[in-house]
């Protein structure tokens, strides 16, 4: 099974378990995650989120909208004008 197939077959329970493991740095049995395991688990959680969850529920989502619908601050993904100084 390759990485993409693993993400496609991941269940919500597996997703929650991996997410918790990344958050606390331990497997459910109490064993610590290695740095490599933590990285791989986080990649899997983000890939699952990207494929299955709406943007507002994804890991790392920052809600930049105010109650009136306006945005807080600038959107970092919007193009910014480039000022060239001579």
Overall number of domains in the chain: 1
Write down the pLDDT at residue 69.
Answer: 66
Answer yes or no: is 83 within a domain: no
Chain-wide mean pLDDT for the chain?
87
Answer yes or no: is 23 within a domain: yes
Q: Give the domain range for residue 45.
A: 3-57
Answer yes or no: is 19 within a domain: yes
Write down the pLDDT at residue 72.
Answer: 67
- Read off the tokens for 55: 């943007």
Answer yes or no: is 45 within a domain: yes
- Binned at pLDDT 50, 70 and 90, residue 9 comes out as very high
CA distance 45 to 57: 12
Relative orientation angle of helices 12-24 and 35-52, to the nearest 10 degrees = 140
Q: Judge whether residue 77 has pLDDT over 90.
A: no
Answer yes or no: is 71 within a domain: no
Write down the pLDDT at residue 17.
Answer: 95
């Amino acid at each position: 099974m390759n990485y993409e197939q693993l993400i496609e077959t991941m269940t919500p329970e597996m997703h929650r378990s991996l997410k918790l493991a990344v958050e606390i740095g331990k497997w459910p049995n109490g064993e610590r995650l290695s740095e490599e395991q933590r990285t791989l688990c986080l990649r899997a959680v983000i890939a699952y989120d990207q494929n299955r969850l709406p943007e507002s529920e994804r890991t790392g989502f920052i809600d930049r909208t105010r109650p009136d619908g306006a945005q807080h601050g600038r959107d970092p993904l919007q193009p910014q004008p480039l000022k060239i100084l001579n």
